[in-house]
Amino acid sequence: MSTGSEIGPAAGLPPEQVVRAAGLVREGRLIPMAAARFPGMPLFPGHPPFQVLNYRTPRGIRVAGAQPWGPINDAGLGYMAEYVMATSHSGAHVDALAHMTVGEDMHWYGGGSADAHLTDFGPSFGDASRMPPFFTRGVLLDAAGQRGLDCLPAGSPVDAAELEAICTAQGVTVEPWDVVVIRTGYMGLWPDAERMAAHRTPGPDISAARWLLERRVVATGTDTETYEVQPAPDPGPTGNPQPVHTLLLIESGVYLMESLDLEALARERVYEFLFVALPLKIRGATGSMVDPVAVV
């Protein structure tokens, strides 16, 4: 299988697109698109909880009489180190192409399948180690702002016609190689789990996914834990609970990002920017936490 089949259409990002995206920077300001992660943080209920546990502390080193540098340490030097135990899908993150499977053969994008490529240490094909860096044009489509709402209602779909209307209202276009981020307002409720649960989960529907595919985006993200609207209003004849993931991630190799904090971008009405996100290349992982930034 080719390297491109493990990376998706993003493998073809032309150098001139990188140069063009860099040219969007006018002020040199960075607008973060990720909230802080912490033990007990809200997560998709199917994921394990996020934990940070001390492994070494200055007091622990002293009490245990540990000698990490050898016997000489007259300065009383200590340090802190920790375990971070978490799903790679904690907070702002990007799904690797091997994250989702479909069908009896449990296949994923590019020809990966559970029988052929799923090891005891995660997928060996299309895993997080194959994800590219994202340095391209970003576009914010503010669905909540378009409707005059702080946050879209629970289960509210954002369809293709609405995305088109948002583009017209904001005076932007979506073009090949873009990363399109869609704001529902959900992260404006962060980290109030009860308020978030009351709005779970608006997002793009299958028509919006087709609209994005037609425009040849390489990645798209929202501010919710599931990217797409849930429950799916259009599960199709097979009763697929996540048809948007199936179309974009599994069938088309378009990367999906979730739990992006788009509130600052929306407040400042920044609709076009340089999008930068660098996934961690971890073998066997099915995604990567990221702290993306919009550079304007």
| Alpha-carbon span 82 to 175, nearest angstrom | 42
| Alpha-carbon span 114 to 101, nearest angstrom | 8
Give yes or no for a cis peptide into 279 (omega within 30° of 0).
Answer: no
Report whether pLDDT(2) > 60: no
Q: How confident is the model at residue 5 (pLDDT cuts 50, 70, 90)?
A: confident
CA 265 to chain centre: 16
| Alpha-carbon span 43 to 46, nearest angstrom | 8
pLDDT digits (tens, 9 = 90+) for 14-72: 999 999 999 999 999 999 999 999 999 999 999 999 999 999 999 999 999 999 999 99
pLDDT digits (tens, 9 = 90+) for 239-279: 999 999 999 999 999 999 999 999 999 999 999 999 999 99
Percent over 90 (pLDDT), the chain: 96
Q: How confident is the model at residue 4 (pLDDT cuts 50, 70, 90)?
A: low
- pTM of this prediction? 0.96
What structural domains and CATH numbers belong to the chain?
3-37+89-295 (3.50.30.50), 51-85 (no CATH)
Closest CA to 201 of 219, 180, 221, 184: 184
pLDDT digits (tens, 9 = 90+) for 190-247: 999 999 999 999 999 999 999 999 999 999 999 999 999 999 999 888 899 999 999 9
Percent over 70 (pLDDT), the chain: 99
pLDDT digits (tens, 9 = 90+) for 53-69: 999 999 999 999 999 99
Closest CA to 82 of 110, 113, 51, 121: 51
